[in-house]
């Protein structure tokens, strides 16, 4: 199991969080997504190595950006 942490910018409400969780949750290999609205912190867990570029693309697909 692997875990990666990201900071997502642009989220302002619970709907934003739900959109990010839905998009990132569809990335192959992802088994869990936790998002904290106040800090923008997103923790992604997966069975094997996570594809960083696909996770970042999923966040952008939801309409937000990964900081850094």
d(CA 25, CA 64): 15
pLDDT score, position 41:
98
Please compute the mean of the pLDDT values over residues 57-61 and round it to a whole number. Answer: 98
Residue 68's pLDDT band (cuts 50, 70, 90): confident
Please compute the mean of the pLDDT values over residues 17-43 and round it to a whole number. Answer: 98
What pTM did the predictor assign?
0.94
Please compute the mean of the pLDDT values over residues 17-41 and round it to a whole number. Answer: 97
Question: How many domains does the chain fold into?
Answer: 1
Domain that holds residue 11: 2-66
d(CA 39, CA 1): 24
Q: What is the CATH number of the domain that holds 26?
A: 3.30.70.100
- Two structure tokens written together for 61: 């697909």
Please compute the mean of the pLDDT values over residues 14-31 and round it to a whole number. Answer: 97
């Amino acid at each position: 199991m692997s875990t990666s942490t990201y900071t997502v910018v642009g989220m302002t409400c619970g709907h934003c969080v739900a959109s990010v969780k839905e998009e990132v949750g569809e990335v192959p290999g992802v088994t869990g997504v936790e998002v904290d609205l106040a800090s923008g912190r997103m923790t992604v867990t997966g069975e094997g190595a996570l594809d960083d570029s696909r996770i970042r693309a999923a966040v952008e697909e939801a309409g937000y950006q990964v900081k850094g």
